[in-house]
Amino acid sequence: MNKRDFLKAAALSVATVVVQSGEAVGLNLSAAIPKNYVKLGKLGSFPQARAKLAVGTDRFGKKQSVWVIRNKNTASGFDAKCPHQGVVTKADEKGFICPAHNSMFTASGTRVSGPAQTGLAKRKIAISAGMVYLVWN
């Protein structure tokens, strides 16, 4: 075996070990995140004191839409769907509005007007290692 063949074999061996180690670490990190956590994004991607719509996929493959409002290193959340008929609401300068039937909600999710009978449902938000998660029951 010449020097070139030896270096190729050594590089391939190192690459194999690195890939296998990375897979093992990835599995361990995935196991550390609770199954009922839906990943929404990095904390830094959410603006301070403004609502941002975040969509994550739960463990059953279903999309979950939530309004996330960041306050420094914490965050609160509301279901993005209007309680009237499940249409995704839109944020405006005063709060949230349903584009289907004009139900209006304050920035804290309280119902103001329209056919919706309740406010936007509060959703539990968790922050871990700089990532924002919806805690899904």
Domain ranges of the chain: 1-32, 36-135
d(CA 67, CA 81): 9
Distance, CA of 87 to CA of 115 (rounded, Å): 12
d(CA 49, CA 68): 9
- The pLDDT mean for the chain works out to 85
User: According to the model, what pLDDT value does residue 4 have?
Assistant: 72
36-135: CATH topology is Rieske Iron-sulfur Protein (2.102.10)
Q: What is the pLDDT of residues 23-75, one digit of tens each?
A: 444 433 455 789 899 999 999 999 999 999 999 998 899 999 999 999 988 99
pTM here? 0.73
**Does residue 32 sit in helix, strand or coil?**
helix
Which amino acid, residue 94?
K
